Structure 1
């Protein structure tokens, strides 16, 4: 599976210092997470039909280097923790500038929300099996049961 997302920094994403603004890093991470299931044949319409969506409990960004306007970015995404049924998960995004320098690390913890009942829920078994095919980090940890 390809766990890569490519993006380009545009004018509206920079701050007064002419580098990628803090919240734009999170926006790129969110887009990378939406693209991730697509690569597995789980485009967003699957979740719309199930009336389910991802929800975050925690999002942590560690900034390492500046990213400038018109720079290209590359994000590699990895599942770092997950329940076997995919109902709870953690994902790490490593964000690189166009020159290959790591600029940020984004860590998120999340789950799936039943949009009808506004409650946490698990994925149907066939969807969970697909979701669990997301590329795993070297230190991947299976949590719970």
Structure 2
């Protein structure tokens, strides 16, 4: 059975606006990143734990599709779904959908990421508990296992 969607409600702030008085392009990715951090914290991996483990998430690719404008003080709903995961949990893909208050999608942000050892500055395998937390993220309709190249 599919877990409940992981979503949060936010209000678009003045600082999120551009000179056209709609949400600036980079604010969409800021909300996606915030959602990821909240998900990880709620599943046992707050930033303090990452600091103790000396690992952190990194992105290889970020793709944003803008669909509808978001205006000042507009309430938005952000959903995160797992779109891919490697068997060892080292690589992952997450699709974030930002919805307007009326339920229409305003944007999708797809990120491909991995885990970095912050001391060695190299990619690393995550602890088993972190891989398990990632597996608990609801799956996006496009989910496909990530097969790493040797």
TM-score by length of 1: 0.93
Query: 2:30 is matched with which residue?
Result: 27
Which position in structure 2 is the counterpart of 1:95? 98
Structure 1 residue 15 and structure 2 residue 18: aligned? Answer: yes
Partner SS for 2:103: coil
- Offset at 1:135? 1.3
> Hey, what does 2:66 align to over in structure 1?
63
2:133 alignment counterpart: 130
Q: What is the distance in 2 between the residues matched to 1:139 and 1:109?
A: 14
Structure 2, unaligned runs of 5 or more: none
TM-score (norm 2): 0.90
Aligned residues: 145
Give 1:38 shift. 2.1
Q: Are the counterparts in 2 of residues 114 and 120 from structure 1 also a CA contact under 8 Å?
A: yes
Q: Shift of the alpha carbon at 1:42? A: 2.3
* Alignment correspondent of 2:112: 109
Q: Is the CA contact 1:84–1:132 (under 8 Å) kept in the aligned structure 2? A: no
Give the 3-state SS of the residue equivalent to 1:144 in structure 2. coil
CA root-mean-square deviation? 1.4
How many angstroms apart in 2 are the aligned matches of 1:132 and 1:42?
14
